[in-house]
Amino acid sequence: MTRPAETSSLGDRAAEALVEYREGRSDALTDFVREATPILWRTVRSQGVPRETADDVVQQTWAALVRHADSISEPQATLKWLLVTARRAAWESVRKHRTDDMRRTGLPDDDAETTTTLPDAAPGPEAELLRNERDRTLWDALRELPARCQELLRLVSLADRPDYKAISAAIGMPVGSIGATRGRCLAKLRTVLTERGETSWT
């Protein structure tokens, strides 16, 4: 991810891009789309949306920003708006595909196990992409964490610290507890890694 200005955060750049777009200049928004698409991708994929569908959900989130450009009252809330919109669209997509699947197979709703299964966790054979045992251990350890812990760590790993606020609000976590929650998720991840025999975490 590129960070054009060390002093501004992703949230600041989102606000600038929106303001300029409203004034008829779209260059900043174009740059911002390129910069922030990865965090939207990660947000949508964290909800269990398959890759092909996630591609469309991310596109439609950006298209929605253009349609609602005039209705976002506080430009500083643009990043949060995008994350919330992407997340809701992802839920909607998961819900709809589940309904379609049920209709197709004619089976009654299954138990909780199927509803928590994340389809299509990786694009290809994982074994080939996990270069070594340490990667494998980390990947497995990550997936042992609660889903929202995984989501938080994935988003935080892509963000500048000032953006934690937008992220925490977007994923429905009290703003004041983001630091502690991130700390707990990291500590939990370390605990799992240690249990799996990794002694050096970095």
Partner 1 sequence: MDMTEFDDVPGADAPLDASDAALLARVAELDDRLDPVPDGLAERALFAMTLAGLETEVMELQVVEAPVGSVRSEAPVETRTITFTHERLTVMIALSVGSAAGTVRVDGWMAPAEVLQVELRRPDGTRATLSDADGRFVLDDVPRGPASLLVHQGETPVTTPVIEL
Task: Give burial (CB, 10 Å; 0-12/13-18/19+) of 61.
Answer: buried
CB of 93 to partner 1, least distance (A): 9
CB of 12 to partner 1, least distance (A): 20
Token output for 22:
């409203």
- Cα→Cα distances 119→48, 49, 96, 98, 147, Å: 6, 7, 14, 11, 13
CB of 44 to partner 1, least distance (A): 11
Residue of the chain from 101, 117, 183, 195 that contacts partner 1 (CB under 8 A): 183
**60: nearest Cα among 22, 89, 83, 17:** 89
Query: Nearer to partner 1 by C-beta: 108 or 185?
Result: 185
Token output for 165:
């606020």
Half-sphere exposure of 80 (CA within 13 A, CB side): 18
Token output for 183:
């700390």
CB of 5 to partner 1, least distance (A): 19
Looking at residues 35 to 74 of the shown chain, list those that interact with partner 1 (rule: CB under 8 A).
Answer: 37-38, 41-42, 45, 51-53, 55-56, 58-60, 62-67
CB of 66 to partner 1, least distance (A): 4
**Could you say whether residue 181 binds partner 1 (CB under 8 A)?**
yes
Half-sphere exposure of 202 (CA within 13 A, CB side): 1
Half-sphere exposure of 186 (CA within 13 A, CB side): 11
| Contact status, residue 39 vs residue 33, Cβ threshold 8 Å | no
Residue of the chain from 88, 98, 148, 196 that contacts partner 1 (CB under 8 A): 148
Site track 73-112 with partner 1 (rule: CB under 8 A), x = hit: ----------------------------------------
Residues that bind partner 1 (CB under 8 A): 29-30, 33-34, 37-38, 41-42, 45, 51-53, 55-56, 58-60, 62-67, 121-126, 129-130, 135, 138-139, 142, 148-149, 152-154, 156-158, 161, 171-173, 179-191, 201-202
